[in-house]
Amino acid sequence: MATPALTAGPAVALARRPKHSSRRSGWLLFCVVTAALVCLPILAVAWLALNPSENIWPHLVRTVLPTYLFNTIVLMIGVAVGTLCIGVSTAWFVTHYQFPGRRIFAWALLLPFAVPAYVIAHVYTDLLEFAGPVQSFLRDVFGWQRANDYYFPPIRSLGGAISMLVLVLYPYVYLLARAAFLEQSASILEAAQALGLSRTERLFRIALPMARPAIAVGLAMALMETLNDFGTVDYFAVRTLTAGLYDVWLGMGNLGGGAQIACLILLFVLCLVGLEKFSRRAQSHVQSSNTRCKAFERVSLQGRQATLAVLLCGLPIVLGFIIPSVVLLRYSIIYFDVSWNADFLEIAWNSIFLSSMAALCAVCIGLLLSYSKRMLNHRALNAAVQVSSLGYAIPGVVLAIGIMIPFANFDNWLDAQMREYFGISTGLLLSGSVGILVFAYTVRFLAVAHGGLDASMKKISPHMDDAARSLGHSSLGIISRVHLPLMRSGILTAALVVFVDGMKELPATLVLRPFNFDTLATQVYQFASDELIGESALFSLLIVLVGLLPVILLSMTIDGARSGARSGARSGARSGASSGTRSK
């Protein structure tokens, strides 16, 4: 396939450049092999796309493609606008203003992240459809009888799908925007204030442009997840490209055609990434670390303003977390006997183990790749890194097929070799093992880890490297003594986000797992796939509960990084016999 070509490229380049030390080229080779391995499933999907059983495009273009494209684009725009509005505004408020409950909001705003999109879709359909409690209540109050007597926005619609996805995906934007706002130097904002910029102007002219790379990463994650989502759009009968993909593959028995649609989806992502890069080609933000420690004061909000701030920050939490949790809890109690599973502990352990392994692998590989980008800046490698982080946008089952093909080929090849030379059969060594699942999760969520890590790596000025090197530190020394400590919160953020995503992962787990192997998500699916929301509630609730812990940890980490900075600032202030960093 295409892998040899990929590895051959840099090898040729190496031969041409003898000035590389052997250690450096060894490292390069290692990076390239890792990147190639991670790219493999995506290349396998591309390879599938070359072999369709028939050309589907004339039919699609003539019939449903315009609808697919329209729905996909509107869905993406809607999710982009929604996640940006909620994510950025709440992040700005909890960072720069003081109002009742602010400290709680700071971490609680991440909670909806623990709720899988397909679960929230079920919950809100249950609440808002004709027979649900909301419409029944309205009918009782106003004396309406039939559906035709009044208008109620249909939950199963494009707008409904946008709302659901916004509610669970805005935390990506919030998370990265908040981290970026926190890291912004107070002195720049003070300078802007001294130059007469109002608070709003400071947000739009200073803080937002500076936070843009981070916000873009958060938005990219939200949009990639939107593109790979099938559960929600399918349940809401919104025909997007992803729905079309499954239809061509399963309905028309044309896997190659489905893979072609997957490639079209990737093209979307590449356009987005390219657009973002192009729009900030002239900008480069390197955080100068000496000003980082200076904390800014929070403005205290009073009266109506405080109420508004509480509403703004409270609403996403109520809608995205509290209401779904209450509904799930209620159903869990009602259907406990049906849904309870004696293997519960084992199932929960499977979920936790897989998600932690994925977090570890994704962070290590993500670090390696963004590091190699920084140090080596090799063109083929950079391209491979770019490709490897596309996995997130491919619908899970398709990516899973892209994974199983190279793995099973390897297994079968190994088996044949072992039979020939040693007379023993190794069977399928990796396929159908937990290892392939860890690999699948890693590939799927690498973009999530890599995006965040890259953003935090970019903030470390190359001057720091030079300074450390001039002090006699080796490359490894620079990594362990300069980069890793500076990236600590970035690394933990990446790990925890991948962990929570892993807890929710469904499609790849379903099709790649070993026999008799269940995770919390597959338990949910066994019932939810037949719209038995009550029976599936218990395990949905468990996903949310297990996801809570990392979410809270995550927020504490960010706060910790911040308060570390603050205490530094405070002690500096104390020695100067003045205090003023505290606001009450």
Partner 1 sequence: MFTAPLVRSGAAISLAVTILLTTPVAAADEVNVYSYRQPFLIKPMFDLFTKETGIEVNTVFAKKGLVERLESEGANSPADLIFTVDVGNLSSAVEAGVTQSVSSDTLAANIPAEFRDQDGHWFGLTNRARIIVTSKERVPEGEITSYEDLAKPMYEGRICTRSGKHVYMNALFASMIAHHGEEDARAWLTGLKDNLARAPQGNDRAQVKAISEGECDIAIINSYYMGAMQTNEEQFEWAASVNIVFPNQSDRGTHMNIAGMSLTAASPNKENAVKLMEFLSSDLAQAMYAEQNHEYPVNQSVQPSALVRSWGEFDHDPLPLSELVEHRVTASKMVDEVGYDG
Tell which residue, 167, 20, 3, 147, has the closest CA to residue 79: 167
> Which token pair is 271?
């356009």
Q: Are 374 and 457 in contact (CB under 8 A)?
A: yes
Burial of 568: CB neighbours in 10 Å, binned 0-12, 13-18, 19+: middle
Residue 362: closest CA among 499, 179, 555: 499
Instruction: Pick between residue 185 and residue 522 the one whose CB is nearest to partner 1.
Output: 522
304 binds partner 1 (CB under 8 A): no
Told to check if 282 binds partner 1 by CB under 8 A, we report no
Say how many residues make up the chain: 584
Residue 183 beta carbon to partner 1: minimum distance, rounded to whole angstroms? 18
DSSP assignment of 275-322? HHHHHTTT----B-GGGTTPPPPPEEP-HHHHHHHHHHHHHHHIIIII
Taking the least distance from each CB to partner 1, the nearer of 253 and 274 is 253
Distance CA 327, CA 534 (A): 9
- # chain residues binding partner 1, by CB under 8 A: 69
Q: Using the rule CB under 8 A, which residue among 415, 418, 475, 548 binds partner 1? A: 415
CA dist., res. 293 & res. 98, Å (int): 20
- According to the binding rule CB under 8 A, does residue 507 interact with partner 1? yes
| Residues between 6 and 35 with contacts to partner 1, criterion CB under 8 A | none
Interacting stretch for partner 1, rule CB under 8 A, among 18-26, 191-199, 395-403, 449-457? 395-403
Of 83-91, 291-299, 408-416, 496-504, the window that binds partner 1 (rule: CB under 8 A) is 408-416
Q: Which helix (H) or strand (E) holds 98?
A: strand 97-98
* C-beta closer to partner 1: residue 122 or 202: 122
Q: Is 569 an interacting residue with respect to partner 1 (CB under 8 A)?
A: no
Q: Is 484 in the site for partner 1 (CB under 8 A)?
A: yes
Phi, psi of 460 (to 5 degrees): -85, 120
Contact 449, 497 (CB under 8 A): yes
Q: Which residues contact 226 (CB under 8 A, 6 or more apart)?
A: 75, 76, 79, 165, 169
For partner 1, give the closer residue by CB, 147 or 195: 147
Q: Which of 16, 19, 21, 131 binds partner 1 (CB under 8 A)?
A: 131
Sole window of 300-308, 313-321, 427-435, 551-559 interacting with partner 1 (rule: CB under 8 A): 427-435
Query: Applying CB under 8 A, which of residues 37, 429, 548, 556 lies at the interface with partner 1?
Result: 429
Query: Is 461 a residue that touches partner 1 (CB under 8 A)?
Result: no
Rule CB under 8 A: say whether 346 interacts with partner 1: no
In 151-302, which ranges are continuous DSSP H helix? 158-183, 186-194, 199-201, 208-228, 231-235, 241-246, 255-279
CB of 529 to partner 1, least distance (A): 6
Which among 29-37, 269-277, 306-314, 393-401 is the span making contact with partner 1, rule CB under 8 A? 393-401
User: Residue 352 interacts with partner 1 (CB under 8 A)?
Assistant: no
In angstroms, what is the minimal distance from the CB of 232 to partner 1?
12
**Which is closer to partner 1, CB of 101 or CB of 154?**
154
Token pair recorded at residue 425: 């059969």
Residue 300: strand pairing partners = 98
Query: In 3D, which of 280, 274, 291, 269 has the Cα closest to residue 211?
Result: 280
556 is a site residue for partner 1 (CB under 8 A): no
Kindly tell me which of 197 and 360 has the beta carbon lying closer to partner 1. 360
Between CA 109 and CA 321 the distance in angstroms is 9
**Which of residues 180, 295, 387, 405 is near partner 1 by CB under 8 A?**
405
Considering only 239, 374, 458, 473, the residue that binds partner 1 (CB under 8 A) is 239
Exactly one of 526, 556, 559, 573 binds partner 1 (CB under 8 A); which one?
526
Helix (H) or strand (E) holding 97: strand 97-98
Residue 55 touching partner 1 (CB under 8 A):
no
Identify which of 227, 207, 209, 208 has the alpha carbon closest to the alpha carbon of residue 273: 227
Token digits of residue 27: 């490292």
Q: Are 121 and 330 in contact (CB under 8 A)?
A: no
Residue carrying the six token digits 């038995």: 532
Interface with partner 1, residue 427, by CB under 8 A:
yes
Minimum distance of partner 1 from residue 519's CB (angstroms): 12
* 272 in contact with partner 1 (CB under 8 A): no
Q: How far is the CB of 425 from partner 1 (least distance, A)?
A: 8
Q: How far apart are CA 274 and CA 277, in angstroms?
A: 5
When asked if residue 289 is in the footprint of partner 1 (CB under 8 A), the reply is no
The answer to whether residue 133 forms part of the interface with partner 1 (CB under 8 A) is no
* Closest C-alpha to 36, from 55, 63, 8, 64: 8
| Contact string 146-165 vs partner 1 (x = CB under 8 A) | xx------x-x---------
- Which residue from 2, 3, 13, 59 is in contact with partner 1, where contact means CB under 8 A? 59
Interface with partner 1 (CB under 8 A), residue from 42, 269, 438, 449: 438
Give the DSSP per-residue string, 51-67.
--SS--HHHHHHTTHHH
Site for partner 1 in 70-129 (CB under 8 A): none
* Alpha-carbon torsion, ordered 460, 464, 466, 472, to 10 deg: -130
Residues at the contact surface with partner 1, assessed by CB under 8 A: 59-60, 62-64, 67, 130-131, 145-147, 154, 156, 235-237, 239, 246-247, 249-253, 255, 357, 360, 397, 400-401, 404-405, 407-409, 411-412, 415, 425, 427-435, 438, 480, 484-485, 488, 507, 510-517, 522, 526-527, 529-531, 534
